[in-house]
Structure 1
């Protein structure tokens, strides 16, 4: 009985004396110390012994440590990302990322090359190269060969850190904000802080050192963290200034403006003119205003009044013909245009197959939007609007049912969109196609026998979001007959694997699809043009008839209303000196592009033609008779027919400005 009682007392004493594991206390000098031993799990942290998950291991001259055990003693964290199969080790404001089996690693998202050795997983434990971790975390590592120990030391004081919203503020004007980013490497609480020069608004210009200290819950203060703020003098508003070449003008006389505005930092961000017409047509005073704004929002404004004399130099029509830049527009009397005599022309048709896949124009379901068997010279016109609630892509797929491989040469191509503005898309696709025809880049796609290939991958890579419009013209040459399909599927699908499940959709709106032949037209005019006002009628289905074709999905005859996709070449062999050539829409609004004597001209540069009461300037001849060649294809989404007008200019005309906008992507939406 006595022996049993003694054994019980000894057991109780041992139980009471057992210490629960706690985090190692920091040293009084503000430094932590961790001692690890080769081939041992034992780690001594500030005099307290703990066991790692795996022994410290030397492999091929590289020492590896159990990552989770090490990070626990550093009071850091380790997180595994199953998606990327990577491990993130975070210590203070530094994060190392490793992948097992790979020596490459990163620090705070920046690739750092290769570690001392590739991390690996042993019995479920990530082993990382100790030297790489210590070096990147700023930990001192000392080897003690006699005892086979490695000693790691690091500071445990809190670390002050902050960011500044603006390190170059203006005195008296700019509000400056400071974001506290301080931390403690052991995760202790920050309980106090001190600042110097952390002004919200600096009253005087100069260079200021902003300093910050923080204190942790043990009473230890951090070192100072400093940021230099250079305060500039108060921002001065820009000075608006302009001149005109004269102070008094006749009606219809050109006014030249010279913007002479300045800013103390040369950072004028916008210039807004009011009433700065190129010319005026009513006698009396006219006040012009220029408002300029700098990058900081400060505004300067100036007005000037000029006098318009009661004497006419040019009528408004003459003035517009003389001074409207190429690619810009001006107003005209639409009914008066119909009184202009028409110019007759001969039409020479050229062999060209056109596939117009424009119905259903509105995408409401996945499917095959058109298909046919074609060969030789083929032009594609595809124009759609996405009405689905999901993003889609449109594909041109060629299937080779021949016994030999086929080759498709990809030639000129123009893409417009995707974006929600049909006029912008129409102008861009026409301009990009005409530009591509001037400088074509050819490539080849091989379609093996019995297989299918996606053609025109630049087009198919475009994702149409709900509400987007996407349009394309493309010329290709096929050396064998291929089965062509225009396919629309949700953007996340693999189109070739999903194709067998799709059906051919019905043509269910007023737009047209079909295959058309002889889709290139040359019109030659040898008579004199420009001696009187005259017009050329295009795509009206009376003078210029429309192409007939077949919807090969139903073998139904169709008419290409508007002749969309037809390439027109107008050869005007005798255009008089001082003749303006303008385009006038007769069916409604028009947004497109033309090539005139080898230069692309938009209708218009910054907008579109609204109705028959507007014209867009395409070209002005000089002081001699000229031959003028104009190429275009009717712009998708625009209304037909159009007229080209030839209008004599006053003999005092200046040399025409033939500058054009040649990149449709730079055109702003109307």
Structure 2
């Protein structure tokens, strides 16, 4: 009988011992949390925001899928959260406990259940297994407990089952994205186009891809310490990738075999002022709020202190803002100091004339005396003629506007007598400023004496890519092989109906490295107006001739292709955009040049040499390769004593260039000599000579260099043929040598005249 009692007693003792010996990670985590305090630490990562997603095989995460896998067995990995460097893991930024220190958990808030989760309440009626895990569930409000090497999680006194256990792989601790998202109140989605799983929180976003060791945090590619993978349809990522990006602090309890995430976060309040400045009594203040809950809760209330929609008095005001989330938690107050300025005053318009009474045709000098506290943005004159040619009282007005839209107007009245000083024509010749135009009778110009200049040229190869000027499809618009001195003229319109880019690709098919030198360059566009792009390209080309600021060398190895003149492709061409370019180059070896218009997402180096790229057919405009494209005009005799003209681009005195099409090898005539650079030197221009620019072929908008200075054609807009004259130069009281540099602006019309005539006698 005693032996029987001994056996029974032994069995009872053995069964009691079995209840307290941990047999798995779940049971090991049920130790008394007080006894494990010395083994705990907390690490807080950088506070960045983010957003989440699931397996890339799903378009939208379904929470019920995560709870379908209920395996609670150990994965066989070591039962601790291990850092990527082999140390015990915190947030992954090597702070605190990762250095062997001990930190305490931070305070937490109440956690919430996610929809579709699978909780089981921990109470006295639960199973024996739940009682064993009671300590794991005994976490603070707002905490999420992850059991190491287990698929169990605890939050707010409830047990949840993850779709796959948290496990250590290659020294990195991995968790299921969906499990974390459901419990942390984040948003989850999937981008079918990029195949990225997305975690969202507020304005922040994390994007993960399968089988990669990088992810994107708010668009920035960020490395992870391990590669993502899929396990039983669960997207697994390093735990630290989520906690660090989302700024989630956590505690590692190695004795209890658990990781405790602190999900308690106050809402964040902030705001900015949308106004450039705030003026007392004038500005309706724009308060731009940017508040959010890091936990994804709704902001349900806000409170302002010191806010005024319009401040009545100048000074410095402090405005404070805070918000409340749906859990009733208030944010910390956020304050801004607002500098309220004194009310603006309108500008004071004022001007004077040098006299009160003038003869007809007498020059009037206006002096603008307007003032403003910050500066005048706009001046609008009315009736401020340089001279009047009818007698009577003339009223002149000036309106000035400052940058705040405040304005004032002033007017003055002058008297014009019956006495005539200059006729209108004589006055215009004497007083129209350089770069401005005046109207005259241009019908008589063809009868003026021609300046019979002598012509010479430099051996510069012109590569003119100007047809099809309007490009309707992707393709090659020109192709040529050239060496030595060369000039590029590129002028095209995008009419493909979609965004495009233009490139010039140079290819070296020689056995040695080629040196391509860019001496000058001018680029205009993209613009919706051909004349505007052409005018800008010519002006910038002249500036590069003046300064040499576009000089550079490009080295191209044997068999190599390079994009040259990158200004062409720096900006995408939209539908209807025009680009225009002039450039002077020199190559010590023959290079093949391809001028192409293609989709901006394609590789121009691969496309340029592709046999599938179509050669586009030309339109009514001109393309071709032309030799001797720098032309010199010299005239040694006296000019300006009588009315004379120097005609450019007429195909008579100035013959058109003859060349060929680099794609079809067809005969070509460069009508108008666009792309030709003219260097005109008149050695003897008579004293008191007026030189003007007069278009003959139609409207003209561009510029010309006169004695090294760039003169606009014209500052007031374009010139009309044949009755507009643009003032270029006036000689003084002695003979002068005058030099011109000119190239026809794309979008304008030739021929043109330089007109020389004696100035009227000054009175």
Q: TM-score, normalised by structure 2?
A: 0.69
Runs of 5+ in structure 1 lacking a partner?
Answer: 1-18, 25-29, 654-670
Contact in 2 for aligned 1:564/1:636 (Cα 8 Å): yes
Q: Deviations over 1:367-415 (max 9, x none)?
A: 5544555443333333333333234444545566666665544433333
How many residue pairs get aligned? The number is 626
Q: Which residue of 2 aligns with 1:249?
A: 358
Q: Which residue of 1 aligns with 2:533?
A: 425
Q: Which residue of 2 aligns with 1:294?
A: 402
CA distance in 2, matches of 1:366, 1:273: 49
Q: Deviations over 1:259-278 (max 9, x none)?
A: 333344x1543222222233
CA distance in 1, matches of 2:596, 2:495: 16
Distance 1:145 1:344, change over 3 A: same
1:259 aligns with 2:259: no
Give the Å deviation of 1:456: 4.1
Question: Which of 663, 669, 682 lines up with 1:559 in the alignment?
Answer: 669
Q: Which residue of 1 aligns with 2:583?
A: 474
Q: State which drifts further: 360-369 or 628-637.
A: 360-369
Q: Deviations over 1:554-574 (max 9, x none)?
A: 555443221222222111112
CA distance in 1, matches of 2:598, 2:174: 52
Question: Which of 553, 569, 575 lines up with 1:443 in the alignment?
Answer: 553
Question: Which of 371, 375, 379 lines up with 1:271 in the alignment?
Answer: 379
1:500 aligns with 2:591: no
Q: Deviations over 1:614-644 (max 9, x none)?
A: 1222233344432221121223332222111
Cα-Cα RMSD = 4.3
CA distance in 1, matches of 2:248, 2:511: 69
CA distance in 2, matches of 1:231, 1:22: 58
CA distance in 2, matches of 1:534, 1:358: 33
Q: TM-score, normalised by structure 1?
A: 0.78
Question: Which of 284, 290, 295 lines up with 1:175 in the alignment?
Answer: 284
Runs of 5+ in structure 2 lacking a partner?
Answer: 1-116, 123-139
Q: Secondary structure at the match of 1:500?
A: coil
Q: Which residue of 1 aligns with 2:428?
A: 320
Q: State which drifts further: 172-181 or 90-99.
A: 90-99
Contact in 2 for aligned 1:79/1:88 (Cα 8 Å): yes
Specify which structure has the higher proportion of strand: 1
The equivalences for 1:81-120 within 5 A come to 89-91=199-201
1:618 aligns with 2:728: yes
CA distance in 1, matches of 2:246, 2:412: 66
Give the Å deviation of 1:150: 5.9
Question: Which of 514, 518, 522 lines up with 1:414 in the alignment?
Answer: 522
Give the Å deviation of 1:523: 1.4
Q: Which residue of 2 aligns with 1:594?
A: 704
Distance 1:335 1:147, change over 3 A: same
Q: State which drifts further: 139-148 or 421-430.
A: 139-148
CA distance in 2, matches of 1:437, 1:632: 12
Q: Deviations over 1:206-260 (max 9, x none)?
A: 4444445555556555554544444444443333233333333344444333333
Contact in 2 for aligned 1:74/1:186 (Cα 8 Å): yes
Q: State which drifts further: 528-537 or 61-70.
A: 61-70
Question: Which of 618, 631, 637 lines up with 2:741 in the alignment?
Answer: 631
Contact in 2 for aligned 1:118/1:129 (Cα 8 Å): no
Contact in 2 for aligned 1:423/1:608 (Cα 8 Å): no
Q: Secondary structure at the match of 1:528?
A: strand
CA distance in 2, matches of 1:232, 1:251: 50
Contact in 1 for aligned 2:515/2:553 (Cα 8 Å): no
Q: Deviations over 1:99-144 (max 9, x none)?
A: 8999988876689x988x66755745544455x8667756565666
Q: Which has the larger radius of gyration?
A: 2
CA distance in 1, matches of 2:378, 2:195: 50
Give the Å deviation of 1:286: 2.2
Distance 1:166 1:611, change over 3 A: same
The equivalences for 1:466-545 within 5 A come to 466-481=575-590, 486-494=595-603, 496-497=606-607, 499-502=610-613, 504-509=615-620, 511-545=621-655
Contact in 2 for aligned 1:562/1:641 (Cα 8 Å): yes
Give the Å deviation of 1:584: 0.8
